[in-house]
Structure 1
Amino acid sequence: MGRTVRGAVPMTALVLGVLVSGCSSETKRTGADPEPRGGETPQARKAGPRDSGCALPVSFDLPPGWQATATAAASASADPERKEFSLVCELRTEDPPGVAPLRVWTAPTAGRTPEQALKSLVDGVTLRLKQSRYSSVRTGASPITEAVFTESPGQTDDEDITARAFAVGTPDGIVAVQLGGMGASEDPSALPAYELARKSARAGG
């Protein structure tokens, strides 16, 4: 006959106690640390509305972390070298702030199509225009004209500089967004920001 040891706990009770304890602590951890929502994306900002820092007769999206700021030229007369276009806004990342890779220009319609106005802008912002290509697309409710143009560098051993710009015509004038310059070549997020602006652009601030 086997001996009974007083105070001993049956093995099954020990196993059940460990399981219950583990489930309880797991439940507490789950309640204290909810699973992060990894699929959410911060809402994009807009340029164009009056409260955006860049009031325009068109509106378009900006990536998270980008900002639009009005320039001093927004209240000045048009630049003769830019064929009646005025530089009104600059678009750049907030951190770290640097040279603006995207620029926003406006010009009166004056009976011109967006393509005619865009050709004038491209002639005004380039010194050694090598080639250019224009195309018309429709994104949303607004027709858009885009230019992809190449400029010869100042030094013979440098590579050609490729830039882009698109224009939207509105009853209140023509708005053009230009991607180019040193800021565009140094910032890898510049081209995606330009593409987002082009795809989301529509008349109306």
Structure 2
Amino acid sequence: MRSAVIRGVLAAAVMAGLVAGCSGGGDGKTSGASGSKAPGAGKSDGSGKSDDSKNGDADTGGAKGNPPAKSGGSVGAAGSACKLPVTFGIAAKWEPTTVDIDPDSNDLADLLRQGPVVIRCEVNGKKADSIAFIRAHLEESPAGGSPRKVLEGYVAADEDPKGATYTTFAAGGETATEVVYTTTSKLLEEERKARAFAVGTPDGVVLVSLGGFDSEEPEVLSAYELAKQTLKVN
């Protein structure tokens, strides 16, 4: 299994050269009026619990104690920097970039995959002085699975994942699922926390992840929380 750190670094390099970037904070529309409910609805996604006794379930969770960041726009809608089956808010100065490559024809496309999903959009915090990114992944071969099932496949494909805890929250009129877990990099010999959430759409499950060296900084967690709280299926 590839190192998650290597995958993240190389994927960023691949996208820098192969994707069509669109900066400027998204479509210019604020996402605070998206109608999304606050996290913590506590609804079940019906997928059942994992067989791994270390994996927990709860009704609320995520970046607790971190309020959502100030919005700098949104991505996902037609005409925005990344057209997706969902929309979510992006923090001020964070820049979205569409990942526009054919995952079946490019030799490096495998670096953009993790388990059942492939990256289609990256929102980078570089101009906000954060070495971090929020990535939107699409399910490659939608099979009618639940967000929980797709998250489990994503986690299993990471490097030495442990302690995964799954929670549910309301995303507009849908129920989304979030996972928080730890992964240990053999390359850097250190443990880090990883976060992602997913929601079902008519086009398959969309998974949104947080990554980067600054992923546990308060301002980065606030950017992630903004995306989570404004998530809405198109």
* Fold equivalence (TM over 0.5): yes
2: distance between equivalents of 1:178 and 1:58?
A: 14
Q: Does 1:164 align with 2:195?
A: yes
Give the CA RMSD over aligned residues: 2.7
Secondary structure at 1:176's aligned position in 2? strand
Distance 1:189 1:84, change over 3 A: same
Q: Does 1:191 align with 2:196?
A: no
> Which aligned pairs between 1:92-107 and structure 2 lie closer than 5 A?
92-93=124-125, 95=127, 100-107=132-139
Q: CA deviation at 1:63?
A: 1.4
| 1:37-70 deviation per Cα after TM superposition (whole angstroms, max 9, x unaligned) | xxxx976301101222111000011112122111
Which structure has the greater CA radius of gyration?
Answer: 1
Q: Which runs of 5+ in 1 are unaligned?
A: 1-40
Contact 2:92 2:128 (8 Å CA) reproduced: no
2: distance between equivalents of 1:157 and 1:131?
A: 18
What is the aligned partner in structure 1 of residue 79 from structure 2?
Answer: 51
Aligned residues: 160
What is the aligned partner in structure 2 of residue 178 from structure 1?
Answer: 209
> Which aligned pairs between 1:48-87 and structure 2 lie closer than 5 A?
48-73=76-101, 75-77=102-104, 79=110, 82-87=114-119
Q: Does 1:119 align with 2:152?
A: yes
Q: CA deviation at 1:89?
A: 0.8
1: distance between equivalents of 2:161 and 2:172?
A: 31
Distance 1:69 1:156, change over 3 A: closer
Contact 2:132 2:211 (8 Å CA) reproduced: no
Distance 1:66 1:157, change over 3 A: closer
Q: CA deviation at 1:134?
A: 0.7
Q: CA deviation at 1:153?
A: 3.6
What is the aligned partner in structure 2 of residue 109 from structure 1?
Answer: 142
| 1:99-132 deviation per Cα after TM superposition (whole angstroms, max 9, x unaligned) | 55211100043021110011111222x1111221
TM score, norm. by length of structure 1: 0.68
Distance 1:156 1:83, change over 3 A: closer
Q: CA deviation at 1:155?
A: 6.9
Q: Does 1:133 align with 2:160?
A: no
Secondary structure at 1:152's aligned position in 2? strand
TM score, norm. by length of structure 2: 0.60
- Which structure shows the higher helix fraction? 1
Contact 1:59 1:203 (8 Å CA) reproduced: yes
2: distance between equivalents of 1:157 and 1:93?
A: 25
2: distance between equivalents of 1:46 and 1:87?
A: 17
Secondary structure at 2:181's aligned position in 1? strand
Q: CA deviation at 1:202?
A: 0.8
Q: CA deviation at 1:188?
A: 4.6
User: Percent of aligned positions with the same letter in both sequences?
Assistant: 31
Which structure exhibits the higher relative contact order, with contacts defined as CA atoms closer than 8 Å and separated by 6 or more residues? 2
Q: Which amino acid aligns with 2:226?
A: L
Instruction: State the 4+ residue runs in structure 1 displaced beyond 3 angstroms.
Output: 41-44, 77-81, 96-100, 155-158
Distance 1:182 1:43, change over 3 A: closer
Distance 1:96 1:146, change over 3 A: closer
Secondary structure at 2:152's aligned position in 1? helix
